[in-house]
């Protein structure tokens, strides 16, 4: 079902409603670009490792989102994945701040594996206000606004509430780091989950969509090392508004790329 502006289903109004509507419109526009480019040849570069990929479409979508938002909200600040990779500082101030991942699941995108999303989060006074995630190939629009619920194409989301690991489907991601210590940690965590008789463990290649599955109740828990704020910002609002919890293993720091668990 193709999403529309009416698919957010939250009550109208709110101090940041114009920003929310802009995020929805831009996520849908970005999704059209990504869908078209998915089947085309791509120029692929690497960033921190051979598994940390970026394409011209990542840059195109990020530039589109930021340039359009800057026209409408010139005083706002931005944190975006590819800008950060190019050396821009990630500083979350009290100012209204957009946190953008133009393509979450770039490795999937490069291989034409259709689990890819665009993610737009928005924070004010260092508090997340809303998140918009668009699953481009399935045309699923996930939204969450603080205090107003989480939705997918107009249907309210609710986490599963499962607390028994033996009945839980757990999601995780490998991430781009492939050094021996990181791989050992990833595999040992996977082994412990399987020994603990989790129903299943899944890796889908997109942290934002994994978190949306969590918010919808299709999975019961998620963990990962090394996530960044653009991976988490939009999804955090959606999960919280769906009744879930998002945390790292030490403090509740949005910009700390450390260990995050969601349930």
| Residue list, annotated binding site for Mg(2+) | 81, 101, 103-104, 231
Catalytic residue among 104, 173, 220, 241, which?
Answer: 104
Residue 263, both tokens: 């349930």
Catalytic site residue 172? no
Rg (C-alpha) for the chain, rounded Å, is 17
Catalytic residue among 58, 62, 81, 82, which?
Answer: 81
Q: Are 109 and 55 in contact (CB under 8 A)?
A: yes
Q: How far is CA 179 from CA 48, 202, 205, 243, in A?
A: 12, 21, 18, 36
Sequence-distant (≥ 6) Cβ neighbours of residue 48 within 8 angstroms: 176, 177
Cα 252 from chain centre: 17
Q: Are 240 and 137 in contact (CB under 8 A)?
A: no
Catalytic residue among 65, 66, 79, 103, which?
Answer: 103
Catalytic site residue 104? yes
DSSP three-state, residue 124 = strand
Catalytic site residue 101? yes
Catalytic site residue 103? yes
Catalytic residue among 106, 143, 172, 208, which?
Answer: 106
CA distance between the termini of the chain: 27
Sequence-distant (≥ 6) Cβ neighbours of residue 43 within 8 angstroms: 55, 56
Catalytic site residue 106? yes
List, by residue number, the catalytic residues. 81, 101, 103-104, 106, 231
């Amino acid at each position: 079902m193709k999403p529309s502006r009416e698919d957010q289903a939250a009550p109208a109004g709110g101090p940041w409603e114009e920003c929310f509507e802009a995020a929805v419109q831009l996520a849908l526009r970005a999704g059209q670009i990504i869908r078209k480019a998915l089947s085309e040849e791509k120029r692929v570069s690497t960033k921190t490792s051979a598994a940390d990929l970026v394409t011209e479409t990542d840059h195109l979508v990020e530039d589109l989102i930021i340039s359009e938002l800057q026209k409408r909200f010139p005083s706002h600040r931005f944190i975006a994945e590819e800008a950060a990779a190019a050396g821009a500082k990630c500083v979350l101030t009290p100012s209204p701040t957009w946190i953008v991942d133009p393509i979450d699941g770039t490795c999937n995108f490069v291989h034409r594996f259709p689990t890819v999303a665009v993610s737009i989060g928005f924070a004010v006074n260092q508090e997340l206000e809303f998140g918009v995630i668009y699953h481009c190939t399935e045309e699923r629009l996930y939204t969450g606004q603080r205090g107003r619920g989480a939705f997918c194409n107009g249907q309210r989301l609710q986490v599963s509430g499962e607390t028994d690991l033996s009945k839980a489907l757990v999601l995780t991601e490998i991430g781009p780091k492939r050094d021996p210590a990181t791989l050992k940690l990833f595999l040992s965590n996977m082994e412990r989950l399987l020994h603990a008789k989790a129903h299943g463990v899944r890796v889908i290649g997109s942290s934002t969509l994994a978190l949306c599955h969590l918010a919808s109740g299709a999975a019961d828990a998620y963990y990962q090392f090394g996530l960044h704020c653009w991976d988490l910002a939009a999804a955090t609002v959606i999960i919280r508004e769906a009744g879930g919890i998002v945390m790292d293993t030490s403090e509740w720091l949005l910009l700390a790329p450390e260990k995050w668990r969601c349930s």
